[in-house]
Amino acid sequence: MDAYAVNLPMADLITKLDEHLVNLGYTANTLRHLRQAWRALKKLALKEGETYFSKELGFRLLREHYDIDPYGSNYKSFKSVTRRAVMLLLEYQISGTIAKRQPKGEYEIPAGFNDVGNKFMESLIETNLAPGTLYNYKMHLFRATTFFVNHGVSDFKALNNDIINIYLKTLAGLSKSYIAGITRALSKFLNFANKHGYTEKAFVLPEITVYKDRRVPEYYTADEVSKILSNIDRGNALGKRNYAMVLLGARYGLRISDIVSLKLSELDFENNRISITQQKTGKPLTLDILPDVGWALIDYLKNGRPEVECDSVFLCHTHPYKAFARGETMQHMLRQYALSAGVWKAGTEKRCSFHMLRYSLASDLIQQGVSLTTISGILGHSELNVTTLYAQLDVPQLKACALEVPV
């Protein structure tokens, strides 16, 4: 058997995970769907004479019984929750816990590593890293150190290369870029611990180089954006919220992280301004409130937004009506409206994202002849060289430059 944190027969493993998710506050409805998938998994294990859960068994269930790619995305609710059920089981077996999405600061690093972890995070804050980056560092450290503790390594004195390598093996199957982020965070943490005398020797982790895809970014045309917006039913509270969110992405090219974190205090209707600090860059950004955006926001705030004490503009429309969790992409919402409007991109498994709205705005501005410097200001880029990447979106000019293919 592999060196799992929770090495139990599958039936017992599922029972322990179920109890853990209940303690984490997973809703009864979510648990009902997860349990349905686990029952199917237990039937498959019984049929094949398997006592213990394994990644191979779980992935076989997904691929052969549900036609689900374990590393795929954009599935409808049933396939999505079935895939999630297998991944949760694998995560709990490997690490002994579930790193449920939480607000920043709630990942509590285990006691034996906590002191160094807090000092390390303080050192990162001093480097002015973006809040989202800091959140990811804390999450990666939480998962790694929790894994160590669940394998009997309670502090740095007991830490060794063997347990680190076992942890790295559990990352197999994740995307190369995600593994690179994990190893980078863990490597910096261990170097920090060694530099400050918490370890006698330095631990060397493999460096993973990720080359970004340089293809032309996908985006919606102005007509497609119009179709998506017109497909949102504004006759109900949820539609009013979603329309305002999509409009902010379409008219300003705002990142979804800035949309979901928008505060009531950042809306200035008297002076017709939206003033935010961007989540990704930490840079301030001030925008004029366009007429259609203003009316959409007013309609939602007056006629759709739940009346609760919360400074966030956009709220989850299920009790207790709180702000969105950090990292929420709202991809499922946009995808629903895009597909309903008959808008998708060939060859991308009908992928939809708010960032495609950002590319759409950039494409429109480029084709209108707006300078890259102006576009950089509108999109809130930290540097002009970031905006130059959007020059790839000038599709008409790219077509004009196309060479004739020899016969």
Q: Is residue 237 domain-shared with residue 171, that is, in the same domain? A: no
Helix boundaries (H) for 155-197: 161-169, 176-195
Q: Is residue 58 domain-shared with residue 91, that is, in the same domain? A: yes
Question: Which residues lie closer than 8 Å to 280 by C-beta, 6 or more apart?
Answer: 130, 132, 255, 257, 258
Q: Is residue 288 domain-shared with residue 226, that is, in the same domain? A: yes
Last residue of a domain, one of 95, 127, 160: 95
Taking the alpha carbons at both ends of the chain, their separation in whole angstroms is 59
The long-range contacts involving 229-232, CB below 8 angstroms and separated by at least 24 positions, are 230/341, 231/337, 231/338, 231/340, 231/341, 232/337
Last residue of a domain, one of 145, 160, 195: 195
Phi/psi for 335 (5° steps) reads: -60, -40
Q: Is residue 18 domain-shared with residue 43, that is, in the same domain? A: yes
Give CA–CA dist 352/262, Å, rounded: 22
Q: Is residue 283 domain-shared with residue 352, that is, in the same domain? A: yes
Which two structure tokens, joined as six digits, stand for 193?
A: 């611990």
216 inside domain: no
Which two structure tokens, joined as six digits, stand for 214?
A: 């340089």
**Of 281, 373, 351, 262, whose CA–CA distance to 73 is shortest?**
351
Which two structure tokens, joined as six digits, stand for 149?
A: 């503790």
Give CA–CA dist 220/363, Å, rounded: 9
- 29 near 21, Cβ under 8 Å? no
368 inside domain: yes
Residue 126, CB-side half-sphere exposure with 13 Å CA sphere: 6
Q: Is residue 77 domain-shared with residue 130, that is, in the same domain? A: no
pLDDT by residue, tens only, the chain of 407 residues:
456 677 889 999 999 999 988 887 788 888 999 999 999 999 999 999 999 998 889 989 998 888 888 766 566 678 888 888 998 898 888 777 776 544 444 678 888 999 999 999 999 988 877 777 888 898 889 889 988 888 889 998 899 888 888 888 777 656 677 788 888 999 999 999 999 999 888 888 876 665 555 455 677 888 999 999 999 999 999 999 999 999 999 888 888 999 999 999 999 999 999 999 988 778 888 999 999 999 999 999 999 999 999 999 999 998 888 998 877 888 888 888 888 888 876 554 556 778 888 877 776 776 676 665 666 666 665 554 544 555 555 544 444 444 444 44
DSSP letter (8 states) at residue 277 = E
Q: Is residue 115 domain-shared with residue 82, that is, in the same domain? A: no
Residue 297: give its domain's CATH number. 1.10.443.10
How many domains does the chain divide into? 3
Q: Is residue 226 domain-shared with residue 189, that is, in the same domain? A: no
199 CB burial (10 A radius; 0-12, 13-18, 19+): middle
Give CA–CA dist 139/84, Å, rounded: 19
Give CA–CA dist 351/335, Å, rounded: 7
Q: Is residue 260 domain-shared with residue 322, that is, in the same domain? A: yes
Residue 154: give its domain's CATH number. 1.10.150
205 inside domain: no
145 inside domain: yes
Last residue of a domain, one of 95, 120, 155: 95
35 inside domain: yes
- 362 near 349, Cβ under 8 Å? no
316 inside domain: yes
Domain ranges, residue 26 = 10-95
Q: Is residue 135 domain-shared with residue 270, that is, in the same domain? A: no
Q: Is residue 365 domain-shared with residue 250, that is, in the same domain? A: yes
33 inside domain: yes
Residue 346's pLDDT is what? 57
Q: Is residue 246 domain-shared with residue 156, that is, in the same domain? A: no
- 328 near 346, Cβ under 8 Å? no
374 inside domain: yes
Question: Which residues lie closer than 8 Å to 370 by C-beta, 6 or more apart?
Answer: none
Question: Which residues lie closer than 8 Å to 337 by C-beta, 6 or more apart?
Answer: 228, 231, 232, 242, 246
